């Protein structure tokens, strides 16, 4: 591991800030972003460990309770997120090729699909709520422990994931503005790339959540 890196290799300008040691380093920015993604991986990893343990402990209850989840909506949401990953990647590709309008369109589509995901999620959750299945509800407390835990895990994991989708919407909206204004452009698009990495992570988490919750039987 003896990579010899010199400070002069660090690309482009020394930005003359108040403290002129703020420099541009796209490669370093990407390293930082991947490291941040690892923290997200471990954050959800903890939840997946819990899922694994409870599924082993309450396998019958899990199978039974999972039937109440809507496979159709789950599959639709999976497709929506996968497609949003596509448009995200295409958006960066377009910007790299100096196709700013196309890039904006694709980025906007990504945001649109993220919102679509949240709308679907809203329908799913509100349907559950109206059936009396929500954390702490009387109906839920009446059920078997395994079912309570199943829905506890369901709300915790899809809830935390949904929160990350919302953060993604905000992040990508900022990127949209930056691309429109030109501060993110074909010569400086690391922010967009890093936002894309975040978005793909949100997709990845769902890729695992979907079969584990919706396809249990």
Partner 1 sequence: MSNPATNVNSVNYLEYTGKYKGIFAWIFSTDHKRIGLMYLWGMALFFIVGISLGFVMKSEMLNPGKDLIDAQTYNAIFTLHGVIMIFLVIIPGIPAVFGNFFLPIQIGAKDVSFPRLNLLSWWLFLIGGILAVMSIFLPGGPIDAGWTFYVPYALRSSTNVSVALLAAFILGFSSILTGLNFITTVHRLRAPGMTFFRMPLFIWSLYSTAWIQVIATPVVGITIVLVIIERLFSIGIFDPALGGDPILFQHLFWIYSHPAVYIMILPAMGIVSEIIPTFARRTIFGYKAIAFSSLAIAFIGYFVWAHHMFTTGISDFSRMVFSFLTFIVAIPSGVKIFNWVATMYKGSIDARTPFLFVMMFIFLFSIGGLTGLVLGNLATDVHVHDTYFVVAHFHYVMFGGTIMILFAGLHYWFPKMFGRMYNERIANISVFIIFIGFNMLYFTMFILGYMGMPRRYWDYLPEYQPLHIISTIGSYILITGLLLMIYNLVKGYYSGKKAEQNPWGGVTLEWSVPSPPPLENFEVIPTVEHEPYHFETHEEVK
Partner 2 sequence: MSNVNEHKSHVGYGRYVLIWLILLSLTIATVAVAGIDLGKLTLSVALLIAAIKSALVINIFMHIKFDDKIFKVFLLVALMTMLVVFVLTSTDIFFR
Coil, strand or helix at 185: strand
d(CA 10, CA 25): 6
Instruction: Please report the DSSP string for 48-63 in residue order.
Output: HHHHHHHHHHTHHHHH
Site for partner 2 in 47-86 (CB under 8 A): 48-49, 52-53, 56-57, 71, 75, 78-79, 82-83, 85-86
133 conformational bin, left if phi > 0, alpha if psi -120 to 50, beta if neither: beta
Q: What are phi and psi of 137, to 5 degrees?
A: -75, 155
First CA to last CA distance, the chain: 47
Name residues contacting partner 1, limited to 54-93 (CB under 8 A).
54, 57-58
Considering CB under 8 A, how many residues would be counted as binding partner 1? Answer: 54
Segment interacting with partner 2 (CB under 8 A) among 125-133, 144-152, 164-172, 188-196: 188-196
Give how far Cα 48 sits from Cα of 28, 43, 77, 92, 153, Å.
30, 9, 20, 31, 9
Question: In the bound complex, what is the minimum distance in angstroms from residue 26's beta carbon to partner 2?
Answer: 5
Q: Does 125 bind partner 1 (CB under 8 A)?
A: no
| 48 or 105: CB nearest partner 2 | 48
Q: Does residue 209 bind partner 1 (CB under 8 A)?
A: no
What is the distance between the alpha carbons of residues 9 and 29, in angstroms, rounded to a whole number? Answer: 15
CA distance 115 to 80: 10
* Least gap, CB of 134 to partner 2 (angstroms): 26
Longest Cα–Cα distance of the chain, Å, equals: 67
Question: What are the residues binding partner 2 (CB under 8 A)?
Answer: 3, 5, 9, 11, 26-27, 30-31, 34-35, 38, 41-42, 45, 48-49, 52-53, 56-57, 71, 75, 78-79, 82-83, 85-86, 88-90, 93-94, 96-97, 187-190, 193, 196-197, 200, 203-204, 207-208, 210-212, 215, 217
Question: What are the residues binding partner 1 (CB under 8 A)?
Answer: 1-8, 10, 14, 16, 18-22, 25, 27-28, 31-32, 35-36, 38-47, 49-50, 53-54, 57-58, 135-136, 140-141, 144-146, 148-149, 151-153, 155-156, 160
């Amino acid at each position: 591991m003896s990579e010899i890196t010199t400070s002069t290799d660090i690309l482009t300008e020394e930005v003359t800030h108040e403290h002129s040691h703020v420099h541009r380093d796209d490669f370093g920015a990407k390293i930082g972003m991947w490291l941040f993604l690892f923290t997200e991986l471990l954050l959800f990893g903890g939840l997946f460990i819990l899922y694994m343990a409870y599924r082993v402990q309450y396998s019958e209850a899990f199978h039974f309770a999972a039937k109440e989840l809507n496979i159709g909506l789950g599959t639709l949401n999976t497709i929506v997120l996968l497609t949003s990953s596509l448009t995200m990647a295409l958006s960066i590709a377009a910007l790299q090729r100096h196709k700013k309008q196309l890039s904006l369109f694709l980025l906007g589509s990504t945001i649109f699909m993220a919102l679509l995901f949240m709308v679907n999620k809203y329908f799913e959750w509100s349907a559950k709520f109206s059936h009396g299945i929500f954390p702490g509800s009387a109906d839920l407390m009446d059920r078997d422990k395994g079912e309570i835990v199943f829905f506890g895990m369901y709300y915790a994991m899809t809830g935390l994931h949904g929160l990350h989708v919302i953060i993604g919407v905000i992040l990508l909206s900022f990127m949209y503005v930056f691309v429109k204004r030109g501060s993110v452009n074909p010569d400086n698009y690391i922010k967009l790339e890093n936002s894309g990495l975040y978005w793909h992570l949100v997709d990845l988490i769902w890729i695992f959540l979907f079969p584990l919750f919706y396809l249990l039987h």
